[in-house]
Amino acid sequence: MLRRLGIRREPAKTDAVTYDDSYYMASQWQLIWRKFRRHRLAIGSLAVILILYSMALFSEFYSINDYQKRHVKFAKSPPHTIYFVDEEGNFSLRPFIYQMKQTLDMDTLQRNYSEVRDKRFPIQFFVQGEPYKILGLVESNIHLMGVEAPGVFFPFGTDDLGRDLFSRTMHAARISLSIGFLGVIISFVLGCLFGGISGYFGGLVDLVIQRLIEFLISIPSIPLIIALAAALPAEWSSTQVYFGITIVLATVGWTTLARAVRGKLLELREADFVMAARISNMGDLDIIIKHLLPSFASFLIVVLSLSVPGMILAETALSFLQIGIRPPAVSWGVLLQDAQNIRSLSQSPWLLIPGLFVIVTVLAFNFLGDGLRDAADPYKQ
């Protein structure tokens, strides 16, 4: 029976691991880093997140074409297949593509694409292309990938207007990823303010703020966000809309953070080590700086990294519903607008690719947050 249920009867774990002196000498952050390093999934996620954010920072470098340029001859082109082996079975280490030729089906008026197999277009790396400015400062014209001049390269295909989806996805990372970060920071400030006030004063103030938070949590967030986002004036510029949306997301999202901050503050205030420090006549300021802040900081990093995905998902949903970021500005949600109905989906399923980036980002932040939480927990080995 036991075996069938598969419940393991393990003896309570005894800490048999022995540590050398460096373990006992290490600071809190060194210990966290050591534990974090062993968490392979979290390390991998951190790498993925760094790559994604580098896309946001250097999207011009990553993009192959100008993200707003319309390649009229290649509207709704499917992604180019990348080959390593050609028709005759010759292997080449350098990947290559074939160009596409468009034919119009006269019955359905649909564009069909077929590969022209007579000439190979090898993919070149770090090629010179359209000039741009790195971070708006340094001029450059180096791009990550590209093919020779008459050829075009669309790794993710193109949209209705013939714009390169790959380059658009790279540029969209800028808004999608930064809005998550900025939104979390704003809601964090709000959360700390209200959570801090609530935890510090206690009593009636605490009661009122806690009830207010409960009330806000009980309102379904998406209808509320939609209503607030729809109130942004139509004549606002892209930048204004961007900040408007960020503030809307933050005003709805701060409640959970405020709760977490208050809970942690109350817990820390009563912690034994704080009591011990107080007994040994340590000053209040010293206690705050040397004891409270470090324990609080590790907690904060965890909470923040776990809050970013919610913001990114909310922005994507808003833009998808056409009340978030407005074109010509692009975010992943804006790109997904093109994939809204079954007709465009069945004709060009590759329009869903930006959604893949959303999923990967959210997954990576979740794994990173989990890893950080385990690493920051001093009682977990």
Partner 1 sequence: MRSYVLQRLVYMVFLLWLVSIVTFIIIQLPPGDYLSTYISRLEQAGQVLADEEVAALREQYGLNLPMYARYFKWFGQMLQGNFGYSYNWEKPVRDLIGERLALTFTIAILSAIFTYSVAIPIGIYSATRQYSIADYVISFVGFIGLAIPNFMLALILMYVAWAHYGLNLTGLFSPEFQGAPWSLAKLGDLAIHLPIPVIVVGTAGTAGLVRVMRGTLLDELNKQYVITARSKGVGEVTLLFKYPVRVALNPIVSSLAWLFPSLISGGTITAYVLGLPTAGPMLLRSLLTQDTFLTASLLMFVTILTVIGTTVSDILLVVVDPRIRMERAAS
Residue from 47, 50, 104, 230 binding partner 1 (CB under 8 A): 230
Binding map of partner 1 across residues 292-321, x = CB under 8 A, - = no contact: -----------------x---x--xx--xx
367 binds partner 1 (CB under 8 A): yes
Residue from 18, 218, 280, 281 binding partner 1 (CB under 8 A): 218
221 binds partner 1 (CB under 8 A): yes
339 binds partner 1 (CB under 8 A): yes
352 binds partner 1 (CB under 8 A): yes
Residue from 95, 359, 378, 381 binding partner 1 (CB under 8 A): 359
345 binds partner 1 (CB under 8 A): yes
What's the chain look like in SS3?
Answer: CHHHHCCCCCCCCCCCCCCCHHHHHCCHHHHHHHHHHHCHHHHHHHHHHHHHHHHHHCHHHHCCCCCCCCCHHHCCCCCCCCEEECCCCCEEEEEEEEEEEEEECCCCCCEEEEEEEEEEEECEEEEEEEEEEECCCEEEEEEEEECCCCCCCCCCCECCCCCEHHHHHHHHHHHHHHHHHHHHHHHHHHHHHHHHHHHHHCHHHHHHHHHHHHHHHHCCHHHHHHHHHHCCCCCCCHHHHHHHHHHHHHHHHHHHHHHHHHHHHHHHHCCHHHHHHHHCCCCHHHHHHHHHHHHHHHHHHHHHHHHHHHHHHHHHHHHHCCCCCCCCCCCHHHHHHHHCCHHHHHHCHHHHHHHHHHHHHHHHHHHHHHHHHHHHCCCCC
Nearest approach, Cβ of 241 to partner 1 (angstroms)?
Answer: 14
Q: Which of residues 232-271 bind partner 1 (CB under 8 A)?
A: 233
Nearest approach, Cβ of 333 to partner 1 (angstroms)?
Answer: 9
Residues that bind partner 1 (CB under 8 A): 1-2, 5-9, 12, 215, 217-224, 226-228, 230-231, 233, 309, 313, 316-317, 320-321, 323, 336, 339-340, 342, 345-346, 349, 352, 355, 358-360, 362-363, 366-367
